Structure 1
Amino acid sequence: MIDIIHRVGIKAPISKVYAALATREGVAGWWTKETTGASEVGGNLELNFSTPSGETIGGMGMQVVALDPDRQVHWRFTSGPEEWIGTDAKFRLNQDGEFTIVHFSHENWREAVEFTAHCSTKWAIFMMSLKRLVETGKGEPAPNDVLIGDWH
C-alpha cells in the first residue's frame, strides 16, 4: 500500500486547528466550499469540486471514522475517484510551542500512479490553505485553490 504524507506547522492553538478539520464549516473554509453532511463519528460528508466558472469537475464522499478532540481526525473515503475509495485521510495534531503540527496522511492507496502524485501536490496545496485559514481567517478552498494542471 502507498501513503501520501505531509507535515505543516500552524501558528495557532491546537483547538483552533482541530475545529478547522473536525467541522463541516471548517472543511469548507480550506478544502472545498461545497461541503455538506454531518461531521460526527459515523456521519458522512459530501464534497463537490467546481471550476471558478461553476463547472462541476468531481466530488467524493467520506465517513467520519474518528474525532479525537485536539488530537486526531480520521476520514474514510466511500465514493469519488476509484483510487480513493477505501482509503483513509488522517490528521494527527500535536502542540510544539506556539505551533500546532499537523501530521497528515492519505493512506492505503493500492498503487503509486500518476494520480497519486497529482493528489499529493493538491494535498500540499490544501494543507497550506488550512494553514492560511487558521492563521489569517481566510483559506483558499476550491474553486479558489491553485490550479496545477488539466486535472485541476
Structure 2
Amino acid sequence: MTISLQHSINVNASPATVYQALTNLDQIARWHCGQVNGEVAIGQTLTLESDEGPTFTWTTRELIPSSKIVQQCTQGPGSSTGKALTFQLRESGQHTSIELSHDGWDPADPHLPRCNTHWGHVLHRLKAYVDQ
C-alpha cells in the first residue's frame, strides 16, 4: 500500500501565470532556490539542484496548459525514483488553488516527513513569486 502527500495553497494569480511559473525555466529559476536545467515538455527532463541539498530529475508525463502538470521522478536520492508529482490548478474566484499530489510513498519511508515539509516550503516560495 502506498500513500500520497497532498498539499494545497491559494495564490493571487491566474492559472496561466502559475502554469508559466511551473513550466518556464527562467521563472522556475527565480523561485526554486537552486540550479535549474532541462525542459518542461512531454517526455523531457527537468533537473533541480537545490541549494539546500539533493538533486532531482523529473520527466514530464502530462501537460494541460493553465490546468495540470504531471511529472515522474527519474533520478533522486533514497526512494524518490518512480514517484509521481501532480500540480492541479483550479481557478477559484479571484484566486488560483494549487493542489500538489506526490504519489507512491510507503507509509514507513523515513524520508516521507522531510519531503512532506519540503513541499510546503516549495508552495510558499511559489506563492511569494506569483503573488508579486
* Fold in common (TM above 0.5): yes
Instruction: State how far apart, in whole Å, the 2-side matches of 1:89 and 1:32 are.
Output: 19
Aligned partner (choices 122, 125, 140) of residue 121 of structure 2: 125
1:76-95 alignment to 2 at 5 Å?
Answer: 76-95=72-91
Q: Percent identity?
A: 25
Q: Which moved more, 1:108-117 or 1:123-132?
A: 108-117
1:38-57 alignment to 2 at 5 Å?
Answer: 38-51=39-52, 57=53
Residue matched to 1:9: 10
Residue matched to 1:33: 34
Shift of 1:131: 0.3
Shift of 1:23: 1.9
User: Unaligned 5+ residue runs, structure 1?
Assistant: 52-56, 137-152
- Residue type of the alignment partner of 1:42: G
User: Unaligned 5+ residue runs, structure 2?
Assistant: none
Shift of 1:129: 0.4
Give the alignment's TM-score, normalised by structure 2: 0.92
Does the Cα contact within 8 Å between 1:75 and 1:88 map onto a contact in 2?
A: yes
Give the alignment's TM-score, normalised by structure 1: 0.81
Instruction: State how far apart, in whole Å, the 1-side matches of 2:51 and 2:14 are.
Output: 32
Does the Cα contact within 8 Å between 2:43 and 2:61 map onto a contact in 1?
A: yes
Flag as ranges the 4+ runs of structure 1 deviating above 4 A: none
Residue matched to 2:55: 59
